[in-house]
Structure 1
Amino acid sequence: MLIDTPTAAHLSQVISQVTAPAFLLGAVAAFVSLLIGRMNRIVDRLQALHATIDDDISRTHPDVPHLRRRAVLLNKAIVLSTISAIVTSLLVILAFVSAFFQFQHEYGVALLFVIALSFFTLSLVDLVREARLSLHDLSHQKPGRSP
């Protein structure tokens, strides 16, 4: 079976169709960087607590459960964002493979785009939950205690 190679015009059309997913990939990459930065600050705070406080006391320190909860939410957001990026990458691959084999790809691409945006939205929700916990922690700190 001989496959007709796609024309430049057809490839140009596919490229124009995958620009939105390409922007989504860029946004997800920046977002994951932000999430990792927040996670690093929490890990640093946990390590500082464990280094300055006796090991038995550090487990029961009031900040430790809150910091761990925030870390769990950020980890979940990172995983969801990464899944979003993977699905978006699959979307772009599907678009080009479909163009090469001259398959109809509109429904598959649309479905993958909705799935990718859903994972990204869930990741944003977890970031909001973590930010609320962060503000809640700040409002309950005693004066003179460092954040």
Structure 2
Amino acid sequence: MAIYIALLTNLNSLYLNSNQLTYIPDSISQLTNLNELCLSGNQITYIPDSVSKLINLNKLDLRFNELSSIPDSISKLTNLNSLYLNSNQLSSIPYSIIQLTNLNELYLSGNPLDKPPIAIAVEGIYAIREYFQ
């Protein structure tokens, strides 16, 4: 998949849910027209910095994976409206998340969060912004 995905430069939406994927290939950065990236129900353990090059992305769905952290580079996804991170292994969310000014939906339930506390995280992005400020 990693070799050929870079050829899909005009692709707007990519749904690869429940495919037992263990990583996101760096070649994903070539899909600069991508608006939606849905990779829920896989076995992905980290988000590579190459995802931050998807500048037109407005929906990122990584529910039900094995993520243990979110990179600061996620703040470069300035057009992101919806971020689904439910049911991973996240113990913290980076401060840089508040730089996503277009983000309206942030789903974090089902994670062992400490920072921010889960009680704040489940209230959504506005509560998280207030917590970090």
The two structures share one fold, judged by TM-score above 0.5: no
RCO higher in structure (CA 8 A, sep ≥6): 1
- TM-score (normalizing by structure 2): 0.20
Which of these two proteins has the greater Rg computed from alpha carbons? 1
The structure with more strand, counted as a fraction of residues: 2
The structure with more helix, counted as a fraction of residues: 1
